[in-house]
Amino acid sequence: MVKRFLFLIAIAILLAPAFVFGAYERAVRVTATEVVDALNNFILVQDYDERYLIHHKTGCGSVKEGDPLTLVIRGELDGNQETLYKGDYASCTVDQAELITGTLVVTIVSASDTSTSVSDNGKPYRIYYSERCKGIKNMNGREVYLRKYGGSELRAGDKFFLPGAGEMCSITYVQSEIFEPSDTQPIPANIDVKRPTTPTHLRAIPTTSAVYLYWDAATDNVGIDHYVISASLYHRDDPVAQDPAVKPQEMPDTIRTQSNRPSMRIDFLEPDELYFFRVIAVDSSGNESSYWSEEATAFTKSSIAQISLENPVLRLFQAQETASSFLFRWNNLSGYKYSVALEVDNERVFADSNWTQTYIQIAKKPERKGKKLELIVRALNYRGITQTAIAKFSF
C-alpha cells in the first residue's frame, strides 16, 4: 500500500503542470501506434497530430501496439535522453526520436542495389541511398516511414526508416520520373551521386599539446579526396542529411584534412577541456558521407606522469573527465603486471594487483570532492624491475 501511494505521488509529480519543471521538461501521454522493429526496440508513437519514430533502451519491457505510454520530454522530442514510462514502474531511456511526415511505398529495387523505385502519395520517383540502406531490397511492395525536411517534393537529404538498419537512412539523390531498372542503366551522365561510406572506429589520443585522431578509412566508387573533422566542446546530434543546405565543411568548429590519410594531429585546442570529435568523408566529386562517424572524446589536459627508471617507460594519462567520473589509461608494458592504488589525502581507499588491463574509471563520489587524489600505477616484470607513474588530481 505504501509503495502504491509513493508511486501515485511520483506519477502526480511527473504529470504536474509545466511550471513545476519549467519550460525545459514536460510529461505527455502517447500511444504506441505500431511496433516497427521489435527486435531493436523501435516503435511509432502518436503525440496529438504528430507521429514520432523512437528507439528506447531496455527497462520498459516489450511495448505492444496500442500500449499507453508516458514520455518525459526535455525541450523537444529529439532523442536527447528523454524518458519513456510504461505502466506503473517500468521506465527506459529514449536515445533516438524522429518526426515522421509520411510513408514511401517501395515498388522496384534495382539489381545493383544502389537505387529503388518508390511511390510517394502516388507520385513515382527513383531514389539513390547510402550503403547502409541495402536492406531495402527485401522491402518490395512494402511501406517505409519517411521524414521530409521541406516542401512536398521528395529530395536528397530526406530520410526513410529501414527495419534492422538501426537509424534513419539517407536519400542521396532523387529522380522525379520513373524508369525501368537495369544493372547497366547509369546515373545521369557526368554526375557522381554516390556518397562515400562513413568512416568508422574513430580514436582520439590526447597528449599535453595535441590530440591525435585515427580512424578506419572510408570507401567510395570514385575515391576519397579528404576528410572533415568536427572538434566541438559539446555533444551535438548528427546534422548531416537532415538539411541538404548544411555542408559539413561550412559548419563551425570543423577542420579539413589536407589529404585522404585516415589520421590527423589537431593542435591549438583549448586546455583543460573535454572535446567531442567526429569525422566525415568527402569524395573527389564533393559528395559527403551520409552520416558523421561515431563520436570519440578526449580531455585536452593529459596530466601525464612519467618516471624514467629504465626503458620501457610507464606513462599514465588522464584520458577523459565527465560529470561523474575520470578515466585514466596507461601504456601496456609487455611482460609486466600492474598494481593500481587510489589515495585520498594520503589514505589508500582502493588497491588491486596482478592486473593486465591498462585503464581504470574513478567515480566522482561526493566524499572525494575537493580532496587531493592520487592514482598510483606500478608495473612489475618477472625480473623484479618496477616502473611507477602517479597522477595527482581533484574535482
2-100 topology per CATH: OB fold (Dihydrolipoamide Acetyltransferase, E2P) (2.40.50)
Antiparallel, parallel or unpaired: β 82-86 and 123-129: unpaired
Enumerate helices (H) and strands (E) in the chain, giving the number of each.
2, 27
Per the prediction, the chain carries an average pLDDT of 77
For cell 570543423, what's the residue?
Answer: 254
pLDDT value for 269: 75
pLDDT value for 343: 92
pLDDT digits (tens, 9 = 90+) for 12-40: 444 443 333 334 567 888 888 888 887 78
Q: How is residue 385 annotated by DSSP?
A: -
Q: Could you say which architecture CATH assigns to the domain 200-299?
A: Sandwich (2.60)
Span 44-60, average pLDDT: 83
d(CA 379, CA 213): 27
d(CA 110, CA 239): 29
Measuring CA to CA, which residue among 311, 306, 318 is closest to residue 381? 311
- Which range of 129-133, 249-253, 351-355 scores highest in mean pLDDT? It is 351-355
d(CA 330, CA 343): 18
Between 70-84, 199-213, 301-315, the lowest mean confidence (pLDDT) is in 301-315
Say if residue 255 is exposed, middle or buried (CB neighbours under 10 Å; 0-12, 13-18, 19+). Answer: middle
> Position 296: which residue type?
A
pLDDT digits (tens, 9 = 90+) for 332-348: 888 888 899 999 988 88
CATH of region 305-393, choose from 3.10.129.10, 1.10.287.70, 3.40.50.1370, 2.60.40.10: 2.60.40.10
pLDDT digits (tens, 9 = 90+) for 122-132: 888 888 876 66
What's the number of CA atoms in the CB half-sphere (13 Å) around residue 161?
A: 27
